[in-house]
Amino acid sequence: MTDDPSRRKLLKTSGMLASGVLLSGLAGVGAARADSPTGETSPVVELPAGRLRGAVEGGLAVFKGVPYAAPPVGALRWRPAEPHPGWPGTREATAFGPSAPQLYREGGDQVLGTHGSPPFDEDCLTLNIWTPAADSSKRPVMVWIHGGGFISGSGSMPNYSGETFARDGDLVVVTINYRLGPLGYLYFGGDGAGGNFWFTDQLAALRWVQDNVAAFGGDPDNITVAGQSGGAFSVAALAGARPKGRPLFRRAILQSPPLGLQIPTRAESLQRTATYLDILGAKDVTELRAVPWPRLIAATLQMFGRTARWGYWSTPFLPVLDGVTLDRDPADLLLTGPGADIDVLIGWTREEANFAFGLDETYAAATKDQVLARVRDTFPSRAAEAYTAYEEARPGARPVDVLMDLISDDLFRLPSLALAERRAARGRAVWAYQFDLPTPAHGGRLAAAHCLELPFVFNNFDKWSQAPFLAGLNPRVRDGLAATMHASWISFIRTGDPNHHPMPRWDRYDRDSRTTMSLDTVTTAAGDLAGYWRRLRPAVAR
């Protein structure tokens, strides 16, 4: 990796903006200056909901814990998000709001460490903003939606701080909280009633951004929504929304979207809700509204036990095809309607499923017969042939390796590839990548696992000190790849094109070249990188 002169210039320029324009520009449209209790000059913005006072952090104006919807508590639990009523006077926006209620284990796990930390509270519908200046510059906007298997994560995690993108790209960055687990994903049915409360939260947040981001120096007509895993699934689901007659966002970044999930129907979701009610000993939603949220979240552990299937990524709570908030597979929303005009950057990691299965000793002992039974779910009439194909693709593969590659393809790689194929066939803009750099952590068993690309995208390894899966990475290789990826993401957000000097030319994915960027120790534009797997499943090409 070589240093990028254009990137150094961008860093220098955005640094000047952050340090020089911030205070002088605060008197612009929708902004003011105020002295904080500590005597520092603090950024203040005037919004329809009321006045907000943020803080200056590292030369950026930062606003934390900003409510974008009414607290979903009491009678509003399991109701669609409603507008926030606003506040009198000046609201301090210098501390993050509580994260959405979720399971938490002190010390975390062997892969990410922690993914969402206390405090937790149902009153969690807040967002956070990083901007070089709350002025009238109309900067491109990035909205980040965190993942977490629909049960964990937070927009206030240090991992997802908007600092690097705002400073390095001269962007306005917004991160959001939304309802998780049972509070966001249970479905109760009823005539014309919708579910997907998580979706209504995210939609409310995007509407808030479109209506208010100009006051923070952002351009409401130049918004990119980005997310990873469950967050990337959300980005696709939001693509079909078009309130007020115009698209909510112009570009989409989907990192490891689990587009292979079988989204439950209303009937299937009601059955899952019945399982949850049985665990809690409640008969309906009215009784559940009287249950304290810690008990609701604790029941997630039993939901794992009741819903888990061998050889499948465990997801105790799932979105629902309710016909109200979501009536189609999210990938379809990026093919027709308002979603067809959105520029898309999509990709996956080479060994996605190693995240969930690579360190599991039970799966390490899996037999060929066990894995063949699972392969049969995907290839009913060609299980033996498919098993052999996966085995030959990885010399020395154990049964668990075949299983992990199959799950990676089922959930992530091939559905993402199918979306790229279908958009390309329609002449719609799409760029594809595969993250190939393996981590040496845990003896290499994780390889290029799910989530591994995140610190490279944000280029903020100092914020990931708690994450065991980064141990042992060569700093020179790590930092070089991070600089390349971070600059590509910034370029895409700013221009709709991920290319920048000096990386290799990254062409759009089309049906002739099938260009896919391999992100590794050496970044390479490859033709039909996943062709072996695509040909194994011909339906992907349709």
Range of the domain at 75: 5-541
Confidence of residue 246 (pLDDT cuts 50, 70, 90): confident
pTM over 0.75: yes
Least confident segment among 33-47, 288-302, 399-413, 493-507: 33-47
Task: Decide if 450 is catalytic.
Answer: yes
Predicted local confidence at residue 531, as pLDDT: 85
Task: Decide if 465 is catalytic.
Answer: no
The two most distant CA atoms of the chain are separated, in Å, by 72
pLDDT tens-digit series, residues 479-493: 999 999 999 999 999
Q: Give the chain's count of helices (H) and strands (E).
A: 19, 15
* Tokens found for residue 536: 């194994």
Predicted local confidence at residue 138, as pLDDT: 97
Predicted local confidence at residue 317, as pLDDT: 98
DSSP string spanning 477-494? HHHHHHHHHHHHHHHHHH
CATH code at position 80: 3.40.50.1820
Q: What does each C-alpha distance from 202 to 64, 74, 516 come to in angstroms? A: 17, 20, 30
> With contact defined as beta carbons under 8 Å apart, do 249 and 342 qualify?
yes
Confidence of residue 245 (pLDDT cuts 50, 70, 90): low
Predicted local confidence at residue 244, as pLDDT: 67
* Tokens found for residue 397: 């593969």
- What interhelical angle do 266-280 and 300-307 show, nearest 10? 130
Distance CA 69, CA 61 (A): 22
- Residue of higher predicted confidence among 431 and 528: 431
pLDDT tens-digit series, residues 342-387: 999 999 999 999 999 999 999 999 999 999 999 999 999 999 999 9
- Residue of higher predicted confidence among 542 and 266: 266
> With contact defined as beta carbons under 8 Å apart, do 371 and 399 qualify?
yes
pLDDT tens-digit series, residues 37-60: 444 589 999 999 999 999 999 999
Task: Decide if 268 is catalytic.
Answer: no
pLDDT tens-digit series, residues 101-136: 999 988 788 999 888 889 999 999 999 999 999 999
pLDDT tens-digit series, residues 266-324: 999 999 999 999 999 999 999 999 999 999 999 999 999 999 999 999 999 999 999 99
Q: What is the mean pLDDT of the chain?
A: 91
Q: Does the structure show a pLDDT above 50 at 30?
A: no
Distance CA 436, CA 350 (A): 5
Predicted local confidence at residue 22, as pLDDT: 27
Confidence of residue 257 (pLDDT cuts 50, 70, 90): very high
Least confident segment among 176-185, 216-225, 533-542: 533-542
Q: Does the structure show a pLDDT above 80 at 67?
A: yes
For the chain, the distance separating the N- and C-terminal CA atoms, rounded to the nearest angstrom, is 37
- Residue of higher predicted confidence among 21 and 433: 433
User: Using H for helix, E for strand and C for coil, what is the string for 234-268?
Assistant: HHHHHCCCCHHHCCCCCEEEEECCCCCCCCCEHHH
* Residue among 122, 351, 352, 391 flagged as catalytic: 352
Backbone dihedral region of 119: left (phi > 0), alpha (psi from -120 to 50 degrees) or beta? Answer: beta
> With contact defined as beta carbons under 8 Å apart, do 220 and 209 qualify?
yes
DSSP for residue 20: I
Mean pLDDT over 396-400 rounds to 94
Q: What sections of 151-222 are H helices per DSSP?
A: 163-169, 181-185, 197-212
- What interhelical angle do 230-238 and 197-212 show, nearest 10? 70
Look at the chain and report how many structural domains it folds into: 1
Distance CA 454, CA 369 (A): 35
* Residue among 14, 137, 161, 229 flagged as catalytic: 229
Strand partners, 43: 33
Strand partners, 129: 63, 174
Closest CA to 29 of 223, 217, 219, 207: 217
* Residue among 115, 146, 450, 486 flagged as catalytic: 450
